Structure 1
Amino acid sequence: MSSAPHLHDVSTRGDLIDWGPQPDAVAGASRSSGRLVHKGPDNRPEIGTWVCTPGTWRLTLPADEICHFVAGRATYTADTGEVIEVGPGTVVMFPKGWSGQCAVHEEMRNVYALF
């Protein structure tokens, strides 16, 4: 237990937990893995690092989520038609209820916080 939960080497960390196939697949067979840094009461906030292999799926976010992408490349397309390209160094704040598709082109890795 730490007074300030943390992970080192999130951009290259290899000891990830397999979180299984990405639900609501549209194309491909994306798999997720990651490590939690912290999970609060009722699972919020949830903070960790997430890795996902190529593929496309639908998603609707259950809470506000900030993502800092540290590796890979993906395209998020909102149901409104807005396109958000992400790659290393991109930070995105997805509001609760954001809905659309994610297409991972190169295995991506991000640090995230759900609030």
Structure 2
Amino acid sequence: MSAPHIHAAGTYDDLVDWGPQPDMIEGQSHSTGRLLHKGPGNSPETGIWVCTPGRWRLSVPRDEFCHFVAGHAFYRRDGSDEVIEVTPGTCVLFPAGWRGEAEIRQTIRNIYMLA
């Protein structure tokens, strides 16, 4: 397909089980998603990601742009007071190497792109 796309990405429900979230601190977050496109060498990669409540460690290996379309969460960066609250409509660019914790309070859904 020359322009991969998903209609109604905010409610699209044909998702694949991606399993439990690794590096759990509290709770039992579980992920589902749908890969939309993966380029040569896995870059870029884009798709839909859904994650249930819990708290876990996070290390971002590549630049990642996220458009959150559902849920409520906090991302806390290691070594700083930075706290990013996400709700529907929030967009965040996590630069490669960003490290911290994710605390999912209500199941989140985001449309992501890894560069």
- Scaled by the length of structure 2, the TM-score of the pair is 0.97
Aligned length: 114
Query: Structure 1: which 5+ residue stretches go unaligned?
Result: none
Q: Aligned partners of 2:69 and 2:105: how far apart in 1?
A: 14
Q: Aligned partners of 2:36 and 2:48: how far apart in 1?
A: 8
Q: Aligned partners of 1:81 and 1:99: how far apart in 2?
A: 13
Given the alignment of the two structures, is residue 39 of structure 1 paired with residue 38 of structure 2, yes or no? Answer: yes
Stretches (4+) displaced over 4 A = none
Cα-Cα RMSD: 0.6
Structure-to-structure mapping, 1:6-25, within 5 angstroms: 6-25=5-24
Worse-matched range after superposition: 56-65 or 7-16:
7-16
Q: Aligned partners of 1:57 and 1:10: how far apart in 2?
A: 25
Query: Structure 2: which 5+ residue stretches go unaligned?
Result: none
- Scaled by the length of structure 1, the TM-score of the pair is 0.97
Q: Aligned partners of 2:30 and 2:10: how far apart in 1?
A: 18
Amino acid at match of 1:85: E
Q: For each residue in 1:46-92, what CA deviation from the matched residue of structure 2 results, as whole angstroms up to 9, or x when unmatched? A: 10010000001001100000000000000000002310000100000
Q: Aligned partners of 2:41 and 2:70: how far apart in 1?
A: 30
Q: Aligned partners of 2:20 and 2:81: how far apart in 1?
A: 26
Amino acid at match of 2:47: G
Identity %: 60
